[in-house]
Every structure is written in C-alpha cells, then in structure tokens.
C-alpha cells in the first residue's frame, strides 16, 4: 500500500496503518536520537515520545507524502528538547554501537569525532547527522529542517570547517 493511503487511514484512527508507516523507519529514528543522546535508553525514550506525538498530531499533517520527513523532524525536535532538559550537550559517550560507527576510524577517533559534532550548535549538528550518518541529500535535509537549500549548504560548510578546526590535523 502506498504512503498516502496509509496516512489517510492513520488520520482516521487506523492504528495498523500507523504501525505500517512507523515500522520500516524505527531503526533510522533510533539512530538519529542516539546521535543526539549517546545513550540507548534515552534514544528509545525519544523515539517513543516522537511516535506518540506523531500519533496524536497526524490529523494536522497536510501533505501525506511528507510523512517520513515530518516524523524525522519530530524526532530531531524531541532529541534537542531532551538534551536541553537534561542540561547537558552529550559529553558522555559510553559505548558506540555499530549502527553509529564510522568506517576506518578506531574507537578513540570516533569518540573525538562525536565530541566535536556535539560541540556544534543544534542546526549544524542536525545537518551533519542527517548528511553523514543518515546519508540524506541536501534537498532532503532542507525539507526535514524546513530551511532553504542554500542555508543547508552554508551551514554544512561552516560545520565541516568547525569540525576540521576542532579535530586538528588528525582527519585532514
């Protein structure tokens, strides 16, 4: 069944349709939340909260074809709110699961990379996560964050420059 038909059914209160919409994206949503929190339990809580928010507000979704973009934005907002409420900017790293691994970089290097990403402001951090961890295009990122493509490009360049400075010559 296509996404538009599932969204229409979900808007009418069909829980099975909503489940079909959510199920294939759960791992992606978890990865996004985990990139913000670096904590498995917090990431799972964020995904649960985002799914609840989506379920209660799906009737307000105007364009069914943007369901996954809309849901991703909810997860990002919940993740940002969670980190603000917790009063930390994710300096606790713990174990980094394979789904968040960066190829060719050892564990210590990944810790440095994630700490550098954590030091970015929330917009730039979101762009880096969506671009390099979720492998989305610039256009997709612009849709999710509801900002112009040019702004995404500019922020991405600035974020990469900040990361290069933060990481020093190790990754240049």
Q: Do residues 98 and 133 make contact, with C-beta atoms less than 8 angstroms apart?
A: no
Whether the per-residue pLDDT at 99 is higher than 50: the answer is: no
pLDDT of residue 88: 46
pLDDT of residue 22: 94
Topology of domain 101-172 in CATH is Arc Repressor Mutant, subunit A (1.10.10)
Neighbours of 99 (CB within 10 A): 12
Q: Is 170 exposed, middle or buried (0-12, 13-18, 19+ CB in 10 A)?
A: exposed
Give the mean pLDDT of 29-39: 89
For residues 157 and 109, the model is more confident at: 157
Min mean pLDDT across 76-85, 87-96, 139-148, 163-172 is at: 87-96
Whether the per-residue pLDDT at 95 is higher than 60: the answer is: no
Q: What is the SS3 assignment for 61?
A: coil
Q: Which of 171, 148, 151, 149 is nearest to 161 (CA)?
A: 171
Q: Which of 169, 83, 74 is nearest to 120 (CA)?
A: 83
> CATH 1.10.10.10 occupies which residues in the chain?
101-172
- pTM for the model stands at 0.72
Residues whose CB falls within 8 Å of the CB of residue 53, separated by 6 or more in sequence, listed in order? 74, 78
pLDDT of residue 104: 55
The model's confidence at residue 172, banded by pLDDT at 50, 70 and 90, is: very low
Min mean pLDDT across 28-32, 52-56, 161-165, 166-170 is at: 166-170
Give the mean pLDDT of 1-6: 86
pLDDT of residue 51: 94
What value does the mean pLDDT of the chain take? 84
Give the mean pLDDT of 145-170: 88
Question: For 164, which DSSP code?
Answer: H
Give the mean pLDDT of 45-65: 93
Domain 1-96 top-level CATH class = mainly alpha
* Helix residue ranges, H only, 58-106: 67-86
For the chain, helix (H) and strand (E) counts, in that order, are 9, 0
What token pair was written down for 81? 């709110």
> CATH 1.10.1740.10 occupies which residues in the chain?
1-96
pLDDT of residue 1: 64
pLDDT of residue 35: 87
């Amino acid at each position: 069944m296509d996404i538009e038909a599932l969204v229409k059914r979900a808007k009418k209160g069909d829980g099975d349709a909503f489940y079909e919409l959510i199920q294939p994206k759960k791992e992606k949503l978890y990865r996004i939340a985990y990139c913000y929190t670096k904590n498995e339990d917090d990431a799972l809580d964020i995904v649960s909260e985002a799914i609840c928010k989506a379920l209660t507000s799906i009737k307000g979704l105007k364009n069914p074809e943007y369901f996954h973009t809309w849901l991703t934005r909810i997860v990002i907002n919940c993740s940002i709110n969670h980190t603000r409420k917790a009063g930390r900017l994710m300096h606790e790293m713990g174990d980094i699961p394979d789904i968040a691994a960066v190829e060719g970089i050892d564990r210590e290097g990944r810790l440095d990379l994630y700490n550098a990403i954590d030091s970015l402001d929330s917009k730039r951090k979101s762009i880096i996560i969506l671009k390099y961890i979720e492998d989305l295009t610039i256009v997709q990122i612009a849709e999710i964050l509801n900002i112009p493509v040019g702004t995404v490009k500019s922020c991405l360049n600035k974020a990469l420059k900040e990361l290069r400075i933060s990481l020093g010559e190790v990754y240049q």
